[in-house]
């Protein structure tokens, strides 16, 4: 591993769109700080520090109220940096952990007490060395009450993953919609296959996120907006949204987070949709006791 990567915009613009009160950025990460929370020896990229202070400053700048911090692959299965972010948030952050599938019931209960509400199964070979489906299923069967599984995969392995996803005994949240090719449009093969997955269970949720990763046409990501708006409309009770800050491992085309937020009214054009996407739905998954 060589130089540390800075993957975030140094001065994101103020978005034109104002999120509703209580809006949740339900997909973001923290990196380090490395001196306190070293990266995993197995990390596939080595980022600069992007700690909780930076995350909370961005949250306020963009007009959000809460964060869901997803354990990033560069921290492996040591959730200390993510838990630190949750602890420093004053109740305004919860998290999704990445754990060794053999984790004990006591350690899962401890993660719950500290604000975790799900586990992430990452199937991207460029990010993790292995993803043992059988062990993941064993783990999913003994998660704390109310937890869900967050799953990250690319469109080319969706067919292979169908039986695995069908066997997960708790709600499932799909990161970045399983990375469809949005240039195919709303009726393209990738989104058709993803819709079939959504039709297979009514407790599969998804994040209509990461235009910067999914739309090669670049900012303002018109292909993404055209392909994804119908999906949000059709499955509006199962969508949650996030910035993906600090955009792990993005070395070029680093997005302006203000522009990322301005994608929201293009994929969720009514106030009702925006309320579901940014408030009601993420609160149902992460702060159900407050509803
Ligand atoms: C994302 C996407 C990516 C990275 C990670 O955990 C991670 O390192 O999730 C990616 O590289 O596509 O959701 O942050």
Q: Collapse the DSSP code of 109 into the 3-class scheme (helix H, G, I; strand E, B; otherwise coil) and give the result.
A: helix
pLDDT in tens, 231-284: 999 999 999 999 999 999 999 999 999 999 999 999 999 999 999 999 999 999
Please indicate, yes or no, if residue 212 is contained in any of the structural domains.
Answer: yes
The answer to whether the CB of 275 is under 6 A from ligand 1 is: no
Give residue 226's pLDDT.
98
pLDDT in tens, 88-120: 999 999 999 999 999 999 999 999 999 999 999
Output the residue whose Cα is nearest ligand 1's atom 4: 248
pLDDT average, residue stretch 168-178: 98
The answer to whether the CB of 73 is under 6 A from ligand 1 is: yes
State residue 139 phi and psi, 5-degree precision. -65, -45
pLDDT higher than threshold 90 for residue 3? no
Which residues constitute the domain of residue 217?
24-290
Strands of the sheet containing 204-206, edge to edge, are: 24-28, 66-70, 93-97, 116-122, 148-152, 172-174, 204-206
CA–centroid distance, 50 to ligand 1, in Å, is 14
pLDDT average, residue stretch 193-213: 98
Q: Residue 123 belongs to a domain with what CATH number?
A: 3.20.20.140
State residue 156 phi and psi, 5-degree precision. -70, -10
CA–centroid distance, 99 to ligand 1, in Å, is 16
pLDDT average, residue stretch 149-157: 98
pLDDT higher than threshold 90 for residue 1? no
DSSP letter assigned to residue 94: E
pLDDT higher than threshold 90 for residue 11? yes
The tally of domains found in the chain comes to: 1
* pLDDT band for position 2 (cuts 50, 70, 90): low
The answer to whether the CB of 248 is under 6 A from ligand 1 is: yes
d(CA 190, CA 52): 35
Ligand 1 atom, smallest distance to 120 CA: 6
Give residue 40's pLDDT.
97
The answer to whether the CB of 25 is under 6 A from ligand 1 is: no
Q: What percent of the chain has pLDDT over 90?
A: 99
The first and second tokens of residue 250, run together, are 């993005």
CA–centroid distance, 106 to ligand 1, in Å, is 28
Q: Which residues of 99-108 are buried (b: 16+ CB within 10 A; e: fewer)?
A: bebebeeeeb
Output the residue whose Cα is nearest ligand 1's atom 3: 248
pTM metric for this prediction: 0.98
Please indicate, yes or no, if residue 105 is contained in any of the structural domains.
Answer: yes
What percentage of the chain's residues is helix, strand, coil (to nearest 5)? 40, 15, 45
Please indicate, yes or no, if residue 225 is contained in any of the structural domains.
Answer: yes
CA–centroid distance, 22 to ligand 1, in Å, is 25
**Candidate of 43, 153, 249 to mutate for ligand 1, largest count of ligand atoms within 8 Å of Cβ:** 249
> Computed from CA positions of residues 5, 79, 147, 261, in that sequence, does the dihedral angle turn out positive or negative?
negative
pLDDT in tens, 178-195: 999 999 999 999 999 999
pLDDT average, residue stretch 34-57: 97
**Helical axes 189-200 vs 222-234, angle rounded to 10°:** 20
Give residue 101's pLDDT.
98
CA–centroid distance, 29 to ligand 1, in Å, is 9
Please indicate, yes or no, if residue 12 is contained in any of the structural domains.
Answer: no
Please indicate, yes or no, if residue 36 is contained in any of the structural domains.
Answer: yes
Please indicate, yes or no, if residue 84 is contained in any of the structural domains.
Answer: yes
Output the residue whose Cα is nearest ligand 1's atom 2: 248
Task: Match 């719950």 to its residue by tokens.
Answer: 112
Chain mean pLDDT for the chain: 98
**Candidate of 152, 178, 244 to mutate for ligand 1, largest count of ligand atoms within 8 Å of Cβ:** 152
Please indicate, yes or no, if residue 13 is contained in any of the structural domains.
Answer: no
* pLDDT band for position 220 (cuts 50, 70, 90): very high
Ligand 1 atom, smallest distance to 244 CA: 14
Please indicate, yes or no, if residue 17 is contained in any of the structural domains.
Answer: no
d(CA 141, CA 273): 32
């Amino acid at each position: 591993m060589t130089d540390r990567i800075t993957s975030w915009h140094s001065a994101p613009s103020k978005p034109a769109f104002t999120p509703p009160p209580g809006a949740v950025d339900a997909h973001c990460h923290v990196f380090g700080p490395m001196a306190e929370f070293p990266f995993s020896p197995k990390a596939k990229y080595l980022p600069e520090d992007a700690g909780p202070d930076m995350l909370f400053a961005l949250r306020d700048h963009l007009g959000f109220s809460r964060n869901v911090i997803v354990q990033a692959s560069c921290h492996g299965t040591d959730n200390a940096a993510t838990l630190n972010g949750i602890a420093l948030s004053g109740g305004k952050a919860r998290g999704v952990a990445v754990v060794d599938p053999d984790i004990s019931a006591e350690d899962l209960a401890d993660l719950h007490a500290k604000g975790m509400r799900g586990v992430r199964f990452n199937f991207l070979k460029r990010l993790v060395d292995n993803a043992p489906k059988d062990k993941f299923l064993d783990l999913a069967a003994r998660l704390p009450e109310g937890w869900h599984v967050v799953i990250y995969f690319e469109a080319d392995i969706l067919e292979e993953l169908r039986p695995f996803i069908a066997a997960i005994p708790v709600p499932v949240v799909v990161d970045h919609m399983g990375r469809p090719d949005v240039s195919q449009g709303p009726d393209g093969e990738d989104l058709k296959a993803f819709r079939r997955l959504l039709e297979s269970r009514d407790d599969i949720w998804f994040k209509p996120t990461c235009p910067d990763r999914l739309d090669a046409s670049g900012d303002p990501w018109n292909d993404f907006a055209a392909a994804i708006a119908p999906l949000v409309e059709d499955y509006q009770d199962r969508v949650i949204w996030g910035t993906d800050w600090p955009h792990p491992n993005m070395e070029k085309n680093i997005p302006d987070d203000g522009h990322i937020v301005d994608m929201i009214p293009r994929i969720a054009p009514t106030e009702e949709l925006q309320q579901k996407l940014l408030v009601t739905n993420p609160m149902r998954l992460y702060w159900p006791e407050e509803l």
